[in-house]
Amino acid sequence: MADDSILRQRCKEVEGLYLLASWLAAKAGKSVQSFYFAESGRAITLRHELGLAGADSATAPASSFQQAHAMLLEDSAALLTLGVTRLGTLAVLVDHQHAEPRTFFLDLPGSELKTILTPKSGADEKAWTMPPCTSSRSTNV
């Protein structure tokens, strides 16, 4: 089992590298690439966890921006991912109204983000909501 914890730690390290690549792509104005790096990093950890749970992680589909955007268009929905780093929080927003993801750099450290994200009252603990960010706390890239 020690091998599982070491592998889990390595997956988290690789996920962190992908998050850094996502941050750099967003800074360079490459929002589609930023989305790709953010999701690819999360996928590594997810596939590892699926494998530990006995699921066939090799069959987990890879998601591209185009696939995610098509699903969001169909449901008139949005997807917001947050990546917390020492530099701040990167938010990547994909919604049905825009042809490309939008990236934002938020002046929110992880500790403050945890206090902002609150469970809905009376809802399942896994159901989360985030209040709107004020313009003074976020900057569009």
Q: What is the pLDDT of residues 3-62, one digit of tens each?
A: 788 888 898 899 999 999 999 999 999 999 999 999 888 888 888 777 777 766 555 555
> Got the DSSP string for 117-137?
-EEPTTS-TT-EE-PPPPTTT
Report the distance separating Cα 25 and Cα 32, nearest Å: 9
* Residue of higher predicted confidence among 34 and 138: 34
The pLDDT tens digits for 95-109 are: 888 889 999 999 887
| CB 37, CB 28: distance < 8 Å | no
pLDDT for the residue 30: 96
Report the distance separating Cα 45 and Cα 102, nearest Å: 24
pLDDT for the residue 92: 92
| CB 99, CB 109: distance < 8 Å | no
